[in-house]
Amino acid sequence: MRAVKFQPAVLGKEATIYSITSITDPNNAPTDFVRFVPYSVALIQTSEGPLTSRQVTDIGDEEVDIGTPVEPVVRILKFDRGHDGDPEKGIVAYGIKYRPLLTRK
């Protein structure tokens, strides 16, 4: 197997949805994400070139299509489980999700 060398990339605020799908059935969601169903996951095409896989947030019932401009935001990613397996006693993990670009005045 050949080793892959990764290079760090700084991602800006301009991006578009390259591909998107929705998780609507709790039985198809990973355990740590069941409480967020329904939610959408997308491949995000950054203006710098790299693709990144992220949840899409703040869309409500809005239709989000391929090519929709999006921007990064900090949101709750998941609730890590406590020592006894109880997610209510664990740590809240924050990270980057993407939302449709807000119109700014």
Query: Does 3 fall in a domain?
Result: no
Burial zone of 25 (CB within 10 Å; 0-12 exposed, 13-18 middle, 19+ buried): exposed
Q: pLDDT value at position 104?
A: 59
pLDDT in tens, 3-33: 888 878 788 888 999 999 999 999 999 888 8
| Residue 35 near residue 65, CB atoms below 8 Å | no
Q: pLDDT value at position 91?
A: 82
Query: Does 75 fall in a domain?
Result: yes
Residues 6+ apart with CB under 8 A from 31: none
Q: pLDDT value at position 56?
A: 95
Q: pLDDT value at position 87?
A: 59
Q: pLDDT value at position 88?
A: 67
* Low pLDDT (below 50) residues in the chain: 105
Q: Domain range for residue 28?
A: 15-100
Structural domain total, the chain: 1
CA gap 92, 65 in Å, rounded? 30
Query: Does 29 fall in a domain?
Result: yes
Q: pLDDT value at position 98?
A: 96
Q: pLDDT value at position 82?
A: 67
